[in-house]
């Protein structure tokens, strides 16, 4: 019964996203900025006013060229508000050149080296009985699951992010905007 209910919620959630995209005949906007399917993840993120902290972090980590590369990638993109949950001193320290390796690992925990739209993720969650392990390029394993019709991710510290904007198609992958920064095991924000 639970599996049937979960599957119905997954189908309803992904159908809502698909219907919204069909109605708009375009990508969802991010922070009010139009996202262009023929631009890279890095190019589109640079245009989104609610992803400026992420863009600054990607630049500080020296990962801009990677996210302009061929991909395909799936990026779980934390908003400025998500970064705002991290103590200012901790965030400032992360952006320092001497902490570049740590910043690269944290950002890598938001990147998957494959393209996965929400319907793909929902299918994997269903196939795995309600939770799906998502290995990232940063060495983290996120747990994807559905709750209340929303796609959620849990990091190795138990921090949970909700996908607030799904399926932002890019020329080199897909972006899902999230409301929390995911951290590697043992790191607190």
pTM for this one? 0.83
Instruction: Compute the CA torsion angle 50, 160, 140, 45 (nearest 10 deg).
Output: -10
Token representation of residue 59: 């630049």
pLDDT of residue 21: 40
Residue 3 has pLDDT above 70, yes or no: no
DSSP 130: S
Domain extent, residue 164, equals 2-178
Residue 184 located in a structural domain = no
Residue 175 has pLDDT above 60, yes or no: yes
Residue 121 located in a structural domain = yes
Judged by DSSP in three states, 74 sits in strand
Please, are residues 175 and 38 in contact by the beta-carbon 8 Å criterion? no
pLDDT average, residue stretch 33-45: 88
pLDDT of residue 96: 87
Choice between 94 and 167, residue whose per-residue pLDDT is larger: 167
Residue 79 located in a structural domain = yes
pLDDT of residue 12: 39
Residue 98 located in a structural domain = yes
Residue 12 located in a structural domain = yes
Give the confidence band of 66 by pLDDT, cuts at 50, 70, 90.
confident
Q: Domains in the chain: how many in total?
A: 1
Residue 187 located in a structural domain = no
Give dist(CA 90, CA 49) in Å, integer. 22
**CATH number, domain with residue 43:** 2.30.180.10
pLDDT of residue 17: 43
Give 116-171 pLDDT, tens digit per residue: 999 999 999 999 999 999 999 999 999 999 999 999 999 999 999 999 999 999 99
Give the confidence band of 25 by pLDDT, cuts at 50, 70, 90.
very low
Burial class (CB in 10 A: 0-12, 13-18, 19+), 41: buried
pLDDT average, residue stretch 3-16: 37
Mean pLDDT score of the chain, rounded to an integer?
84
Q: What is the b/e burial string over 64-93, where b = at least 16 CB atoms within 10 angstroms of the residue's CB?
A: bebbeeebbbbbbbbbbebbeebeeeebee
CA distances from 131 to 57, 105, 108 (A): 29, 23, 21
CA angle 37, 39, 42 (to 5 degrees): 120
Q: In percent, how much of the chain has pLDDT > 70?
A: 85
Residue 86 located in a structural domain = yes
pLDDT average, residue stretch 75-91: 91
Give 99-120 pLDDT, tens digit per residue: 899 999 999 999 999 999 999 9
pLDDT average, residue stretch 5-15: 37
Residue 133 located in a structural domain = yes
Q: What is the b/e burial string over 130-166, where b = at least 16 CB atoms within 10 angstroms of the residue's CB?
A: bebebebbbebebbbbbeeeebbbbbbeebbbebbbb
């Amino acid at each position: 019964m639970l599996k049937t209910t979960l599957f119905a919620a997954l189908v309803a959630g992904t159908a809502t996203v698909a219907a919204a995209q069909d109605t708009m005949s375009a990508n969802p906007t991010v922070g009010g900025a139009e996202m262009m399917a023929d631009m890279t993840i890095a190019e589109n993120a640079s245009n989104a006013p609610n992803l400026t902290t992420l863009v600054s972090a990607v630049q500080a980590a020296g990962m801009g060229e990677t996210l302009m590369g061929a991909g395909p990638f799936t990026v779980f993109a934390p908003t400025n508000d998500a970064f705002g949950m991290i103590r200012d001193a901790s965030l400032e320290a992360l952006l320092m050149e001497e902490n570049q390796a740590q910043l690269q690992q944290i950002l890598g925990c938001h990147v998957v080296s494959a393209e996965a739209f929400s319907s793909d993720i929902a299918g994997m969650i269903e196939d795995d009985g309600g939770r799906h392990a998502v290995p990232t390029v940063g060495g983290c394993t996120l747990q994807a699951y559905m709750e209340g019709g929303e796609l959620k991710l849990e990091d190795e510290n138990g921090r949970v992010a909700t996908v607030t904007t799904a399926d932002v198609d890019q020329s080199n992958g897909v972006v899902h905007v999230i409301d929390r920064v995911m951290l590697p095991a043992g790191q607190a924000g």
